[in-house]
Copies of this chain bind each other. A is one copy, B any other.
Amino acid sequence: MARYGKGANAERELIQALFDAGFSVVRIAGSGKNPLPAPDIIALRKGRAIAFECKAWKAKNLAIPVDQMQQLLQWSKRAGAEPLIGWKVPRKGWFFLSPRQMHNSGKFYLISLNDAMRKGKSLFTLQQKVLGK
């Protein structure tokens, strides 16, 4: 419950930030609601689309199962959307990563918190980059 709440709050924060940056945004309902796999959040602006998979947890590493990442990549390719992994770390904020920035171990796409903090975009940077376009 606490975990669900944390993830939902993180997603609400991201949705509001994207809306403020001029995007139309939707949050997709959890599994079962959609007959086909889908990202957590989709943001559209002037025909540009970003598909977000969001994680909100405190850990030394982020691990995304390969099949989940493949679904995101396939979904994004068909859509013509940019896939982004959003990792919200308590007290450190958001780190946005391209799947290419993660390491495919065969079972998981992995990145350490240190690498995510070094390579990832912040929410502010994401907004600026987006607004600059």
Q: Which residues of B contact A19 (CB under 8 A)?
A: 36
Kindly identify which residue among B16, B29, B48 contacts A35, using a CB–CB cutoff of 8 Å: B16
The answer for the CA separation of A25 and B4 in the assembled complex, in Å, is: 25
Q: Which residues of B contact A75 (CB under 8 A)?
A: 24
Tell me if A33 counts as interface (CB < 8 A to partner B): yes
Tell me if A12 counts as interface (CB < 8 A to partner B): yes
Nearest-Cβ distance from residue A73 to partner chain B, whole angstroms: 11
Known contacts: A15-B35, A35-B16. The answer to whether A80 contacts B48 by CB under 8 A is yes
Q: Are A25 and B36 within 8 A (Cβ)?
A: yes
Q: Are A44 and B12 within 8 A (Cβ)?
A: no
Q: Which residues of B contact A78 (CB under 8 A)?
A: 22-24, 44-45
The answer for the CA separation of A26 and B78 in the assembled complex, in Å, is: 12
